[in-house]
Amino acid sequence: MAISFTGKKRIRKTFGRVAEVAPMPNLIEVQKSSYDHFLQMGVLPEQRGSVGLQEVFKSVFPIRDFSERAQLEFVRYELIPMIRLDCDSPDITVMTAGASIGAFNAVALMCHYPDVVTNAIGMSGTYDISRFVGEDAGDDLYFATPSYFLPGLNGEHLALLRSRKAILASGEGRWENIGESWRLAHVLGSKGIPNRVDPWGSEYDHDWSTWREMLPKYLGELI
């Protein structure tokens, strides 16, 4: 069989003279932009779109155990990483503090995340929020409220929580209800979680002037 010329010799083509159709993109910038879009790091959590990592997290959180007694929240991957980034310390632990309903949040964070929250300072705390949301609020109320979910808590989570500490300070003046602090202290104590109730007396009202005096005292004690 006769062999053609093209069968004997490789044909080469050059496109060097073809006009540029589109400018070459900066491939590094493309990758960086794609990564920024995936993380949305520069966007506040409540303003992030349901794309990228945010969409992944929202699709799986909250994670609850089979007995419905423990729950892992998305906030664990929002607040703590930002604190650690700001402090330039990837392993730093934190303490929480709050007044009134903020005290509820401070103690709840410690109870939910004892791996990263070592101490909680509750000032003039409102620890039972059922009167605001209704007693029939279901699982949301149950898992949010330490005095509800702690009695059924056991295992490694409780063991770690027993190495943490809550300070429950309250005045006994106008608008104060130190009884809420004593009731929460009883729940914490019954599970072996270190805590202390500090009564500040009748001259201290449920007001900012009280908390302004309380907070430096306890920060000085715990830091």
Q: What is the largest CA-CA distance in the chain?
A: 113
Q: Angle 52-60/27-39 helices, nearest 10 degrees? A: 30
pLDDT confidence of residue 119: 97
Residue 120 phi, psi (nearest 5): -130, 135
Residue 2 or residue 100, greater confidence: 100
DSSP assignment letter at 152: G
The structure tokens listed for 154 are 């056991």
Whole-number Å distance between alpha carbons of 25 and 55:
28
Domain extents in the chain = 45-92, 93-223
CATH architecture, domain 93-223: 3-Layer(aba) Sandwich (3.40)
Q: Are 185 and 195 in contact (CB under 8 A)?
A: yes
pTM of the model: 0.68
What is the pLDDT confidence band of residue 74, given thresholds at 50, 70 and 90?
low
Residue 45 or residue 128, greater confidence: 128
pLDDT reading at 208 higher than 60: yes
pLDDT confidence of residue 9: 66
The full DSSP string for 72-105 is E-GGGGTHHHHHHHHHT-TT--EEEEEETHHHHH
Whole-number Å distance between alpha carbons of 6 and 155:
77
Question: Mean pLDDT, to the nearest integer, of 156-163?
Answer: 95
pLDDT confidence of residue 222: 92
Residues contacting 146, CB < 8 A, separation 6+? 107, 108, 111, 127, 184, 187, 188
Q: Are 84 and 75 in contact (CB under 8 A)?
A: no
